[in-house]
Amino acid sequence: MKKQTKSLTVLLCRAGVTAALYAGLTIAFGSLAYGPLQIRPAEALCVLPLFFPETIFGLFVGCAMANLLSGYGAIDIVLGSIATLVAAVCTYGIGCLFKQNVASALLGGLPPVLVNAIVIPFVIILATPGEGMGSYWVWFAQMLLTQSVWVYVLGMPLYFGIRRIKGKTVYFT
């Protein structure tokens, strides 16, 4: 019974730390973290579900907390956070299929890149009066580019760092 309680504690702490890191890293960049060209290094954390399923919820909560300050209102809080949740679940699924190898790393980065590139332009269009669908593809391309930078340029070193130390001197359950 005690081991199960400890494991639950570890899982909850890992989810909470993930949420806090995501929200803190995003909020630290202020208005640069929101919109079609996002400076959001916290997106590197989207590789975590490849290793830890509990980080799915942490990413979702962290994104919701960060989006409270986005300026796009409830639409971004709800749709942006759901996009992160869907992407994290898909990333976890890829991690289950490919078991922490190079294919897992490369394919696991695709859901956060593609889901955000598809959804966030709609969020901007819905939340910004006077914006039409004509801007969608420009914003899609910008989101695809910025998400790729954060998920692959920052997320892959994180992925390979965790992979290297997992099961060694650092405690992971």
- pLDDT tens digits, 47-106: 999 999 999 999 999 999 999 999 899 999 999 999 999 999 999 999 999 886 888 889
Distances (CA, A) of 55 to 12, 84, 120, 157: 9, 11, 21, 18
- Domain tally for the chain? 1
Q: Is residue 172 part of a domain?
A: no
Q: How confident is the model at residue 1 (pLDDT cuts 50, 70, 90)?
A: very low
Euclidean distance between CA atoms 48 and 92, whole angstroms: 8
- The answer to whether residue 47 is domain-embedded is yes
- DSSP, collapsed to helix, strand or coil, labels residue 101 as coil
Please list, in sequence order, all residues whose beta carbon lies within 8 angstroms of the beta carbon of residue 105, skipping any fewer than 6 positions away.
47, 50, 156, 159, 160, 163
N-to-C CA span, the chain: 16
- Domain membership of residue 133 as a residue range: 2-165
Residue 101, pLDDT score: 80
In a domain, residue 173? The reply is no
pLDDT of residue 4: 52
The answer to whether the CB of 37 falls within 8 A of the CB of 135 is: no
In a domain, 153, yes or no: yes
* Residue 31 covered by a domain: yes
Contact criterion met (CB below 8 Å) for 64 and 21: no
Question: For 10-14, what is the mean pLDDT?
Answer: 92
The predicted structure's pLDDT at residue 35: 78
Task: Report how far residue 124's alpha carbon sits from residue 47's, in angstroms, rounded to the nearest whole number.
Answer: 25
- Residues 39, 26: Cα–Cα separation, whole Å: 8
Which pLDDT score is estimated for 166? 79
Predicted confidence at residue 167, as pLDDT, reads 67
Which pTM does this prediction carry?
A: 0.89
